[in-house]
Amino acid sequence: MNTQFSIKREKFNGQLLAIGRLVPYKGFEFLIKAINKSNYQLHIIGDGPLYDSLKVIAGKNIFLHRKVDETMKNQLFHQCDLLIVPSINRAEAYGMTIAEAFETGMPVVASNLETGVTWLVQDEKTGLVFDTLNAESLLRAIKKFEDDEIFYQNVSLNTKQFFEENLKYEHFKNKFKNI
């Protein structure tokens, strides 16, 4: 990602973002059903075989963006408060969108998959982890960011720091030089 910007995230506004190929293991059906009856707005960027069926079940508070250019993607990163990673099995090994979110200072709420996802999304440090396929657990995690501005601000700062210290290209380049 080439966001070239960092956002000062001070207040939670109820805007959620999810990005990925619309395939079963990504958990978008679960996410839509969990968010449908909430007061949150959810933007999903992605395309794939589930697009049409997800469009059918999405409530008025859920917006599916099939394909977007970098400008639109950056706008959504700027507009939204949290990245949600709802994957439902270990096929989600890492999650590049998490690194993109961290670059902008966006906290992440992710399924507890015990993969690279939870190495990135460190519970209460760079985001919150919820019990996979558990809507109540997901909504509790989102609500924690909504209810606690200081927590939201601190986690946002932590994501930027984690990105700078662990995920920037220069960091990887230096690590490989030392191997």
Q: What is the per-residue pLDDT across 28-62, written as a single tens digit (0 to 9) for each?
A: 999 999 999 899 999 999 999 999 999 999 999 99
pLDDT at 123: 92
Tens digit of each residue's pLDDT (9 = 90 or more) over 133-142: 999 999 999 9
* 138 backbone dihedrals φ, ψ, rounded to 5°: -60, -50
pLDDT at 8: 67
Q: Is the pTM of this model over 0.85?
A: yes
CB distance 12 to 37 below 8 Å:
no
pLDDT at 178: 63
d(CA 167, CA 74): 19
Model confidence band, residue 90 (pLDDT cutoffs 50, 70, 90): confident
Beta bridge partners of 129: 110
5: Cβ contacts below 8 Å, ≥ 6 apart = 74, 78, 104
Please say if the pLDDT value at position 84 is more than 70.
Answer: yes
The residue ranking higher by pLDDT, 139 or 3, is 139
Please say if the pLDDT value at position 89 is more than 80.
Answer: yes
Strand order in the sheet with 15-19: 62-65, 41-45, 15-19, 82-85, 108-111, 127-130
CB distance 110 to 130 below 8 Å:
yes
pLDDT at 168: 76
H or E segment and range at residue 140:
helix 135-147
Tens digit of each residue's pLDDT (9 = 90 or more) over 98-150: 999 999 999 999 999 888 788 899 999 999 999 999 999 999 999 999 999 99
CB distance 96 to 38 below 8 Å:
no
